[in-house]
């Protein structure tokens, strides 16, 4: 039964209008007849008013039809949700145009599936309408990719995705389009990450320690971007590199940690226990997959013989059941479990044959040829079952195992058939981005929070040394390649001014010289239970007497001796030259003048001690121009040239400390000393011209300092004046921060601090 429009109502006005529009008459009538069976007259009139609002702003036929379609598909009778959608679409149309509004309405069913509640859906609409106001040109590409963007499944993730893109691009429309069409690395990382979950960056340091403890070899880990692909990602081997997915979707918390450990242990087992690559030859895709499966089982069996506890690590991920439809993919997963778990019951003929062949080869497990022999036989059997097998969509099971591409030698590709090449080359295009002959780990960018440097081309602002990431405090993400470090050539001053200043500080130089002499001698360390020495070790003598009384052979090492502890320390001093260091003190000198004399006194002491050290001055003028001036490099002596550069330093610009700390880690990381120390000399909290909230840069610097600590590099802050103390304590930790109340006291306090740290 059709509902007739009321006189003088929105419903009547809409019906009269649609009768005059031939192209819209039929779809409108279809929608109206459907809605009229579910709603009362008041709801229909409210709905008609919403349609009229879209008509009055020239939303166009596409937008109207999209609204009618979602109205018909609205679950239940929630007219309020539809009215909210129409209002949001009208707002988007005003800001971004009719096409953007239509695409937004078409993406509503995707949002309904992604969000569990009406309030979340309302937040999604609010975020989308605000986005249309902030970046109208980007609404269309976002709406077209809504299913991918909403993959994390939370409205917070969507809001973070939008805000991060706007912050990244600023006013650069090219960068904005690159980001919102999902071509930018940051966009791909955000949509691949399950917020609140565990990702590769969080686990990398732990995995290195874990795998090194297992196999005695330091692994080379790199992230494997998840990308926008329907095929689930697995870990991958590329020569000596182990590439782990940035995130395992669907795994959270402790389960995700266990999966990363299982994947890392499995991949390193291939590198430790494997023996070269298999030639592809004329194998068919199904045979290649089965050879890889048998090789996985062989390697894991060898690994569990050496380390039985690995079975407990891998077993929870073997979840295949001997039931259901026997597809090729299911049989492969069942075979993988059968070869791993002797107690797994499965009477399928194919599984039983695989078990029997593998059991018969137990005495030959050290021979990789068994993988090819068994894999070819089973591949022929599975092929005769006429089961459908899609090589492109095949995913190795269980989830912790790698994709097996690293097992194959593609140099023999001319012998392979086209199906095999298509199967592997597509995957290689996604995953083979590292050379097999990768450099040593200490030459690779670090995966820690200290940041990853990437070289960039020079420009007029100075030679660009590298780009570094920066932490976004608000959204809890790391923005890759966000800041650029530039090498600014040092201006040459007059070294005689430094020498004259040192002469005026003769008393301080005398105290520092005394500390140098004491530190040169070193600390005396008492050595117990020595075969010879200047005194008896009473504990050792007692133990030897007890051994004689009980008829045992006594330990002859019953003496004590002493030796001087060897010092092995490298230091990098970072000198803040931001605009605030131009402030004058009562004496007439500037803060930078006092910094110069303090650095000169300390540099003279470190030169006498023979400690390798470097001096870097820093300032910043936005994220693309973090300025570093080398006063003294590690590989050059401290002399007249370094003094001239120190005297030539000038005040100016701001303080982007996090980026400077990351670069300091890269510089001192090459030093050969056992202990490494970064000393930061600053007079205020981090700030920069393109950052409104100083807390953002404080938190970024804190994470950079934590990254240095994770790499075994000590970071210490020396703060001039109390205003910057709170920020410095947050960055370095209160125990690693020293406040100098009077700037004039800096030369003495800085040297004393160095000697105290050198004795740790």
Where do you find CATH 3.40.50.410 in the chain?
A: 495-503+568-758
How many other C-beta atoms lie within 10 A of the C-beta of residue 323?
9
414 has a pLDDT exceeding 70: no
User: Which of 680, 681, 678 is closest to 669 using CA atoms?
Assistant: 678
For residue 216, how many C-alpha atoms fall within 13 Å in the half-sphere facing its CB? 4
Mean pLDDT, rounded, for 612-629: 93
Q: For position 236, what pLDDT does the model report?
A: 87
**What is the tens place of the pLDDT at every residue in 35-51?**
888 888 888 888 889 88
DSSP codes of every residue in 646-688: HHT----SBB-HHHHHHHHHHHHTT---SEEEEEEEESS--B-
Q: What angle do CA 445, 449, 455 make, to 5 degrees?
A: 35
628 has a pLDDT exceeding 90: yes
**What is the tens place of the pLDDT at every residue in 438-483?**
333 333 333 333 444 544 444 556 678 888 999 888 777 778 788 9
Mean pLDDT, rounded, for 705-717: 89
190 has a pLDDT exceeding 90: no
Alpha carbon separation from 530 to 139, 519, 524, 527, 542 (Å, rounded): 76, 26, 16, 7, 14
Mean pLDDT, rounded, for 94-104: 91
**What is the tens place of the pLDDT at every residue in 60-86?**
888 888 888 888 877 666 688 888 888
Strands 524-530 and 559-564: antiparallel
Mean pLDDT, rounded, for 742-755: 81
Q: What is the CA radius of gyration of the chain?
A: 34
**What is the tens place of the pLDDT at every residue in 663-674?**
999 999 878 777
Tell me the pTM.
0.47
3-state secondary structure of 719: strand
State the pLDDT confidence band at 749, using cuts at 50, 70 and 90: confident
Q: In which residue are the tokens 């110069």 written?
A: 596
Of 462 and 306, the one with more pLDDT: 306
Residue 249 has what DSSP assignment?
T
The CATH architecture one would assign to domain 495-503+568-758 is 3-Layer(aba) Sandwich (3.40)
Q: For position 518, what pLDDT does the model report?
A: 59
3-state secondary structure of 199: strand
Q: For position 461, what pLDDT does the model report?
A: 64
Beta strands in 491-537 (DSSP E): 524-530, 535-536
189 has a pLDDT exceeding 80: no
User: Which of 366, 362, 632, 339 is closest to 490 using CA atoms?
Assistant: 632
Q: For position 633, what pLDDT does the model report?
A: 92
Q: For position 234, what pLDDT does the model report?
A: 84
CA distance 382 to 331: 9
For the ranges 459-463, 523-527, 565-569, 654-658, the one whose mean pLDDT is highest: 654-658
Of 722 and 214, the one with more pLDDT: 214
Q: For position 568, what pLDDT does the model report?
A: 72
Of the listed ranges 522-526, 534-538, 610-614, 715-719, the least confidently predicted one is: 522-526
CA distance 556 to 519: 34
Mean pLDDT, rounded, for 91-101: 91
Mean pLDDT across the chain: 82
Q: For position 449, what pLDDT does the model report?
A: 39
Of the listed ranges 70-84, 313-327, 371-385, 700-714, the least confidently predicted one is: 70-84
Element spanning 254, H or E: helix 253-273
CA distance 114 to 131: 19
In the chain, % of residues over pLDDT 70: 86
Q: For position 515, what pLDDT does the model report?
A: 66
In the chain, % of residues over pLDDT 90: 28
521 is written with which tokens? 């001698």
The alpha carbon dihedral of 492, 494, 499, 500 has a sign of: negative
Q: For position 426, what pLDDT does the model report?
A: 41
CA distance 689 to 10: 53
Q: For position 481, what pLDDT does the model report?
A: 81
Contact criterion met (CB below 8 Å) for 683 and 720: yes
Strands 236-238 and 241-245: antiparallel
Element spanning 405, H or E: none
Q: For position 232, what pLDDT does the model report?
A: 55
**What is the tens place of the pLDDT at every residue in 220-269?**
888 776 544 444 568 888 778 898 887 787 677 788 889 999 999 999 99
Of 434 and 215, the one with more pLDDT: 215
393 has a pLDDT exceeding 80: no
Contacts of 402 (CB under 8 A, 6+ apart): 234, 235, 236, 237, 263, 266, 267, 270, 396
Contact criterion met (CB below 8 Å) for 52 and 14: yes
3-state secondary structure of 348: coil
Contacts of 601 (CB under 8 A, 6+ apart): 502, 505, 508, 509, 512, 747, 750, 751
Burial 240-268 (b: 16+ CB within 10 A, else e): bbbbbbbbbbebeeeebbbbbbbbbbbbb
Of 7 and 318, the one with more pLDDT: 318
């Amino acid at each position: 039964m059709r509902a007739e429009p009321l006189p003088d109502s929105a419903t009547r006005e809409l019906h009269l209008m649609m009768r005059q529009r031939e192209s819209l008459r039929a779809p409108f009538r279809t929608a109206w007849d459907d809605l009229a069976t579910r709603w009362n007259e008041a709801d229909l009139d409210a709905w008609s008013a919403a349609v009229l609002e879209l008509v009055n702003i020239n939303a166009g036929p596409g937008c109207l039809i999209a609204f009618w379609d979602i109205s018909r598909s609205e679950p239940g009778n929630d007219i309020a949700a539809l009215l909210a959608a129409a209002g949001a679409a009208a707002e988007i149309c005003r800001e971004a145009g009719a096409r953007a509004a239509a695409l937004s309405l078409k993406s509503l069913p995707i949002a309904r599936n992604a969000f569990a509640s009406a309030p979340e859906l309302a937040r999604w609409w609010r975020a989308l309408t605000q986005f249309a106001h902030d970046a109208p040109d980007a609404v269309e590409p976002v709406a077209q990719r809504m299913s991918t963007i909403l993959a994390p499944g939370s409205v917070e993730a969507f809001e973070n995705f939008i805000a991060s893109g706007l912050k990244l691009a600023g006013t650069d429309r090219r960068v904005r389009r690159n980001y919102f069409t999902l071509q930018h690395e940051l966009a791909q990382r955000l949509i691949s990450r399950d917020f609140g979950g565990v990702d590769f960056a969080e686990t990398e340091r732990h995995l290195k320690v874990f795998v090194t403890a297992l196999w005695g070899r330091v692994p080379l880990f790199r992230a494997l971007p998840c990308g926008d692909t329907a095929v689930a990602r697995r870990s991958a081997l590329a020569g000596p590199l182990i590439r782990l997915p940035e995130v395992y979707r669907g795994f959270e918390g402790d389960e995700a940690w266990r999966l990363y450990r299982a994947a890392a242990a499995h991949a390193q087992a291939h590198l430790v226990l494997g023996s070269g690559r298999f030639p592809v030859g004329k194998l068919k895709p199904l045979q290649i997959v089965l050879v890889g499966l048998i090789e996985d089982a062989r390697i894991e069996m060898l690994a569990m013989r050496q380390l039985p506890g690995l079975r407990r690590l891998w077993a929870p991920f073997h979840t295949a059941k001997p039931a259901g439809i026997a597809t090729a993919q299911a049989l492969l997963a069942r075979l993988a479990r059968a070869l791993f778990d002797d107690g797994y019951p499965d009477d399928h003929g194919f599984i039983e044959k695989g078990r029997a062949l593998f059991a018969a080869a137990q005495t030959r497990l050290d021979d990789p040829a068994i993988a090819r022999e068994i894999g070819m036989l089973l591949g022929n059997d599975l092929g005769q079952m006429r089961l459908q097998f899609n090589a492109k969509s095949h995913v190795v099971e269980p989830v912790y195992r790698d994709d097996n591409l690293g097992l194959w030698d593609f140099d023999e590709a001319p012998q392979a058939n086209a199906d095999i090449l298509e199967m592997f080359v597509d995957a290689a295009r996604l995953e083979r981005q590292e050379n097999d002959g990768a450099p040593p780990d200490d030459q690779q960018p670090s995966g820690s929070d200290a940041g990853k440097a990437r070289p960039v081309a020079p420009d007029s602002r100075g030679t660009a040394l590298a780009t570094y990431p920066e932490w976004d405090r608000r959204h809890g993400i790391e923005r890759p390649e966000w800041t650029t470090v530039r090498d600014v050539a040092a201006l040459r001053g007059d070294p005689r001014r430094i020498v004259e200043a040192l002469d005026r500080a003769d008393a301080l130089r005398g105290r520092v010289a005394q500390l140098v002499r004491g530190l040169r001698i070193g600390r005396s360390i008492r050595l117990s239970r020595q075969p010879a020495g200047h005194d008896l070790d009473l504990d050792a003598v007692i133990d030897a007497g007890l051994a004689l009384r009980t008829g045992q052979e006594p330990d002859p090492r019953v003496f004590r001796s002493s030796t001087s502890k060897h010092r092995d320390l490298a230091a990098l001093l970072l000198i803040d030259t931001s605009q605030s260091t131009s402030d004058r003190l009562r004496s007439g000198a500037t803060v930078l003048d006092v910094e110069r004399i303090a650095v000169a006194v300390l540099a003279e002491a470190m030169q006498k001690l023979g400690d390798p050290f470097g001096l870097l001055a820093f300032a910043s003028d936005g994220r693309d121009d973090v300025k570093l001036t080398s006063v003294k490099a590690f590989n050059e002596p401290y002399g007249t040239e370094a003094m001239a550069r120190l005297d030539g330093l000038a005040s100016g610009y701001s303080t982007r400390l996090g980026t400077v700390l990351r670069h300091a880690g890269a510089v001192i990381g090459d030093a050969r000393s056992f202990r490494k120390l970064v000393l930061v000399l600053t007079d205020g909290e981090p700030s920069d011209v393109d950052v409104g909230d100083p807390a953002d840069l404080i938190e970024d610097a804190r994470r950079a300092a934590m990254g240095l600590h994770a790499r075994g590099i000590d970071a210490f802050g020396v703060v001039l004046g109390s205003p910057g103390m709170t920020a410095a304590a947050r960055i370095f930790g209160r125990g690693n921060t020293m406040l100098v109340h009077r700037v004039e006291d800096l030369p003495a306090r800085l040297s004393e601090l160095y000697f105290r740290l050198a004795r740790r």
